[in-house]
Chain A
Amino acid sequence: MRDRFLYCGKFKVIPKKVLEYIIRMVPYVLEKILPVSVLSALRNLRSDKLCELRLRSGGAVSVSYCGRYSYLTSGGIADKPEGALKLTEDDLKQIMLRACDKSLYAVNDRICKGYLTLDGGVRIGVAGETVFEGGAIKTVKNFTALNIRIPHEVIGCANKVEPYLFNGTRYKSTLIVSPPGAGKTTMLRDLARIAASRVEHNNVLIADEREEIAAVSNGKPSLNVGFNSDVISGCTKEYAFMHGIRALKPDIIVTDELCGKDDADAVENAVASGVCVFASVHADCCARLAEKRGFERLLKNKSFERFVELSERSGAGTLEGIFNQDFSPIRRGEPQ
């Protein structure tokens, strides 16, 4: 019996054949935008292991699958680019048009910032020829490369760090530090979910600039961010923090990818206003944070009381350590 069924919780069982089918299902948003050749190839892969698709005009399609890059062939994946699927510039344009529901004008400001977020938090990074006018990017044309990142909601991945961030009455402001693709956003989302689902009733505000944390679609978060969370998406952190603190009275603000002085100032103001902040930043390790522009004052003022360091060493989301505001380790490595 155990061979054919996967036990899920106390009572429910999922037949293994159904689970196998679910695992091989390509996220529906990709079904809508990708060419048939790529879709057929993806059906040979497990969607839970697929993190990224890199599409280049005239180049071989590559995927980040099971934690490493491979080339996508009609039968699955290969280590060498020979025989890999190739897409044209026109294919990339078609993908972008499908991704925006043939309403490029409606998402042009995001394309100018280099990305487009789809339902379910799928994000397309865009490269192409930028059109400048009056010192600002007007649009991006002739797309040369698209990087499609597929989010993975890992419910419970923050359970191992959450106890170190809660002092019994309130949460401590925390910065998650890791290189790209190491699971920062996934952990932030789960932290938001845990904090917004506590009986103590924390009001959690998610400042989702790139719409990756909650992936709001038609006014509803499409990923689980807890039931006491409010989401402001698609705007700058500065705006979300300022208006959120004034109008929504949050206990915790969750935001992704701090970058530059404006973001650091917004965090500093929020912490000074008595709001706890969970944020993430791209960095090799905590020791290199001071090298990041705009972070000097944030570190000097000890705005963050906890630092969580993640890496890809043993797969995305590997916990390297949790540190206090003086960078002294509170715990090192994954819990046993």
Chain B
Amino acid sequence: MITKLTIVCLCMTASTMVGLWNTKRKKSKVLYFDSCVKLTEKLIADISFRHENLFAILNEYAQTDKTELSRQIAKFGAAPYDRFEPDGKLLKAEEKRLVSDFFTSLGSSDAETQLYELENYNKRFYERYSEENEKFKRTGNVGLKLSVLLGLAIGILIL
């Protein structure tokens, strides 16, 4: 009996872990795009009012950020004059292109053009954020519940 219960528990734990990992991945994408929106807002404010140096703004932001974006800022800072190519599996190809265009466009034009571009990226990042947030609300918790149930079902089937 104890062996059977252990098998069921193991299956449930494993599937819950998978569910949690999936939920965290979706959540981190929401947080990532939320961070992108905040970064563009900071850039707009700091460029409009202080004409602050780009790396000073990015470094200041990266210190408070806990998402994938801070790692990307560090990567951009290491080779700022090359085309930026985001790595990792968090983003889809289309999203990577958006982020790549965003970083590459930074600091390459006059203030007016730069602010116009940033407003545009802010909108696009906000759209991605809303989309991912909606998706997370719809499927995030359900996915976790389903994975727990799936683990239970697998455990029972094994028995």
Contact = CB atoms under 8 A, between A and B. Distances in A.
Interface of A: 94, 97-98, 100-106, 108, 138-139
Given A108-B110, A139-B110, A101 B53 contact: yes
Listed residue (A94, A102, A105, A106) with the most chain B CB atoms within 10 angstroms of its CB: A105
A229 to B, nearest CB: 26
Nearest to B109: A104
A105 B114 contact: yes
Contact of A97 (B53, B55, B107, B111): B107
Interface residues of B, number: 18
A117 to B, nearest CB: 15
Nearest to A140: B110
A101 B54 contact: yes
Q: Determine the main DSSP class of B at the interface with A.
A: loop
B106 interface: yes
B53 A106 contact: yes
Contacts, number: 50
Interface string B114-153: 1100000000000000000000000000000000000000
B53 to A, nearest CB: 5
Contact of B53 (A103, A108, A139): A103
A97 B114 CA distance: 14
A102 B108 contact: yes
A102 B53 CA distance: 8
A105 to B, nearest CB: 4
Nearest to A111: B110
B80 interface: yes
A293 B76 CA distance: 50
Contacts of B112: 138
A105 B81 contact: no
Interface of B: 47, 51-55, 80-81, 106-115
A106 B52 CA distance: 7
Contact of B111 (A98, A100, A102, A108): A108
B47 A105 contact: yes
A217 B109 CA distance: 23
Given A102-B80, A105-B114, A97 B51 contact: no
25 contacts: A97-B81, A97-B107, A97-B108, A100-B107, A101-B55, A101-B107, A102-B54, A102-B81, A102-B106, A103-B51, A103-B53, A103-B55, A104-B107, A104-B110, A105-B109, A105-B111, A105-B113, A105-B115, A106-B51, A106-B52, A106-B53, A108-B111, A138-B112, A139-B110, A139-B113
B59 to A, nearest CB: 12
Contacts of A94: 81
A98 B109 contact: no
Contact of A105 (B51, B55, B80): B51
Nearest to B80: A102
A175 to B, nearest CB: 34
Nearest to B48: A105
B108 A138 contact: no
B110 A103 contact: no
Contacts of A97: 81, 107-108
A105 B108 CA distance: 7
Contacts of B52: 103, 106
Contacts of B54: 101-103, 106
B105 to A, nearest CB: 11
A102 B113 CA distance: 14
Contacts of B111: 105-106, 108
Nearest to A96: B108
Nearest to A105: B111
A100 B55 CA distance: 11
A108 B53 CA distance: 12
Given A101-B53, A106-B52, A138 B106 contact: no
A129 to B, nearest CB: 13
